[in-house]
Amino acid sequence: MKTITLSTAALILLGTLTVATADTTETSLENTTTEQTMTQTQTREMKQERVRQMNQMKEQMANMSDAEREAAMAKMQAQMQTQTRARQAMGEETSALAQDKVSMGERTSDAAKTMDKTRTMTQEHSRTQEMTQTQQMQQMQQMQQRHGADMEAHGAMEKMQSQTDGMGNNLPRP
């Protein structure tokens, strides 16, 4: 009866491990970037292969003695713990990569905002320079017009003065 109980317990444990392994595999695959590229068919085939391997191992264990079975189960538990740790490490790496990706996206967004701000400031600076140049040109034109008017007035005054000087020479002197 002890043998049956141990065999039954071993099979129950293996059945539980089979389901847990399939669930762990599914969870692990969902957390990795490679799962995103796999098709549903590939994922299903991987699960079926793992279940097939576990069933094969169950058959082998059923044919083992109690001591061999205990040793095999201890070895399998150690392997599963190692695999679980590896999956957790992969999950942490994936999480870190996702955070890096988010951080990179934020930096890219910040760079785009900075470029937009720089572009806007450059456009405003160009407009300000154009307005300043336009004002300077208008001032120059006004100065040239005033200068022209001043020159014309100066010429008219000289003409008038020369006419008055010419009139003054014609006047009798006392």
Res 90: pLDDT:
80
Percent of the chain with pLDDT over 70: 72
Residues 83, 134: one domain?
A: no
What confidence score (pLDDT) does residue 149 get? Answer: 87
Task: Identify whether 12 is part of a domain.
Answer: yes
Residues 6+ positions from 54 with CB-CB distance below 8 Å? 14, 17, 18, 21
Helix axes 2-31, 66-170, angle to 10 degrees: 10
User: Does 48 map to a domain?
Assistant: yes
Same domain, 17 and 87: yes
Q: Cα–Cα distance between 87 and 50 in angstroms, integer?
A: 16
pLDDT tens figures, 113-159 = 888 888 888 888 888 888 888 888 888 888 888 888 888 888 888 88
Check whether residue 64 and residue 140 sit in a common domain.
Answer: no
How many domains would you assign to the chain?
2
Residue 168's SS3 state is: helix
pTM here is 0.31
Summarised one tens digit per residue, pLDDT across range 11-66 is 666 666 666 565 555 555 566 655 566 666 777 788 888 888 888 877 887 787 88
Looking at the fold, whether 84 and 130 belong to one and the same domain comes out as: no
Residues 22 and 69 sit within 8 Å (Cβ to Cβ): no
| Domain, as residue range, for 85 | 2-93
109: in domain: no
DSSP symbols for 87-149 = HHHHHHHHHHHHHHHHHHHHHHHHHHHHHHHHHHHHHHHHHHHHHHHHHHHHHHHHHHHHHHH
Under 8 Å between Cβ of 69 and 6: yes
* Short-list 82, 73, 80, CA closest to 12: 73
> What's the mean pLDDT when you consider all of the chain?
76
* 2-24 pLDDT tens trace: 455 666 666 666 666 666 565 55
